[in-house]
Amino acid sequence: MKNLFITSAFLLVIFSSCDSSDSEKTNSSEAVLLTSSNTSGKITYQDLLSSSATVKSFTIASLDAEGISYNSDTDAVIVASRTNNKLETYTGIKEAVKAGTDNIKLTLSGLNTEFNNARETAVSGDVVIVAQDQLAANGMINKLFVYNKTATGFTLVKTFTTDFKLWGIHLNGNDLYAVVDLTGDIVLFKDYMKNASGNITATKRVTIAGLVRSHGITYSASDDTMILTDVGNATSGTDGGLIFIKNFSSVFNSTVAAGTIAQTSQIRIYGPNSLLGNPVDVAYDQVTKKIYVAERLNAGGEVLTYTYPTASGDFAPSNVRVEAGVTSVFVLRK
């Protein structure tokens, strides 16, 4: 999903999602949560510093959208439209919030049909990566599309074809992490842009013990923590979970290729109290240590909030918000 339009230093702004790299500033002047949907044609915006924390909803040109990200400096939202099969940028969020109107503008869009069946975006500076999951309409091809955002639109720079089903992706500097859909595996593409367009081979692939099927992924460099979602059986509303891997760099580096990260290296939230059935995306706020999850199955879509756990268990979310068709979550703090 899971996120900036600025440099890798991010001007001390935190952008946390299944697809973002991060920085940290504790004296926050702004903290917002955004979501996209695949059924409502809406995105939502919530000021996390407001005492009312009111959720604002805005209409976009895509009924079905994935991979939301937001740049506060330009007041611009990017989504990967599954309705129109292109990247779309919307501006005017802050003014619309102040005015209480549904009046945001579609200001930039990419070309149609370059991707089909987008599942996530990863954004860093002007680079936007879209993960395409295989579908009959795209020739059953799993592909990464790398774009450069310009003043007039999005320019396709490179494409990489993978030999596994794609879903969540996350950029950390020059490295790209991806979940291997239908498995409990994640992969690393180190210095991914050094590869020529075409088939791309993972630098390293490891299995996360006890993870059935991952969709959402986010990594906090400041905490050195990887967070993954487990949708389990996609039709079950009770078998989903969250997995936290602390000291991820050392854990990942010490795991051999095709090896397994044991459950002893994980903190896990699973069970009926968690309300996790089909968590498709995750975002993390490094300041408040809160985790935001897009739960797609239960209640037709919910945004669940959790406090960072210190041990594994069946923990209930601290907040539950019904959000029809929610597909992606994004946190910005600066």
Mean pLDDT lowest for which of 3-17, 47-61, 99-113?
A: 3-17
Q: 65, 120 in Cβ contact below 8 A?
A: no
Q: Are strands 86-91 and 76-81 parallel, antiparallel or unpaired?
A: antiparallel
Is residue 302 predicted with pLDDT exceeding 60? yes
Is residue 187 predicted with pLDDT exceeding 50? yes
Across the range 310-324, mean pLDDT stands at 98
Q: Distance (Å, rounded) from C-alpha 71 to C-alpha 86?
A: 19
pLDDT in tens, 242-274: 999 999 999 999 999 999 999 999 999 999 999
Can you give the chain as a three-state secondary structure string?
CCCCCCCCCHHHCEEECCCCCCCCCCCCCCEEEEEEECCCCEEEEEECCCCCCCEEEEECCCCCEEEEEEECCCCEEEEEECCCCEEEEEECHHHHHHHCCCCCEEEEECCCCCCCCEEEEEEECCEEEEEECCCHHHCCCCEEEEEEECCCCEEEEEEEECCCCEEEEEEECCEEEEEECCCCEEEEECCHHHCCCEECCCCEEEEECCCCCEEEEEEECCCCEEEEEECCCCCCCCCCEEEEECCHHHHHHHCCCCCEECHHHCEEEECHHHCCCCEEEEEEECCCCEEEEEECCHHHCEEEEEECCCCCECCCCCEEEECCCEEEEEEEEC
For residue 19, what are the β-bridge partners?
none
Q: Distance (Å, rounded) from C-alpha 172 to C-alpha 195?
A: 17
Residue type, 121: T
Instruction: Name the band, by pLDDT with cuts 50, 70 and 90, for residue 46.
Output: very high
User: Model pTM?
Assistant: 0.92
pLDDT at 53: 82
pLDDT at 25: 43
Instruction: Name the band, by pLDDT with cuts 50, 70 and 90, for residue 15.
Output: very low
Across the range 96-102, mean pLDDT stands at 95
Q: Distance (Å, rounded) from C-alpha 95 to C-alpha 209?
A: 46
Across the range 145-173, mean pLDDT stands at 96
Name all domains of the chain by residue range, CATH numbers in brackets.
10-333 (2.130.10.10)
pLDDT at 19: 56
> Considering the chain, what percentage of its residues have pLDDT values greater than 90?
88
Count CB neighbours of 7 within 10 A. Answer: 10
Q: 332, 27 in Cβ contact below 8 A?
A: no
Residue type, 206: V
Is residue 3 predicted with pLDDT exceeding 80? no
Across the range 76-92, mean pLDDT stands at 97
Instruction: Name the band, by pLDDT with cuts 50, 70 and 90, for residue 84.
Output: very high
pLDDT at 110: 87
pLDDT at 17: 55
pLDDT in tens, 189-245: 999 999 999 999 999 999 999 999 999 999 999 999 999 999 999 999 999 999 999
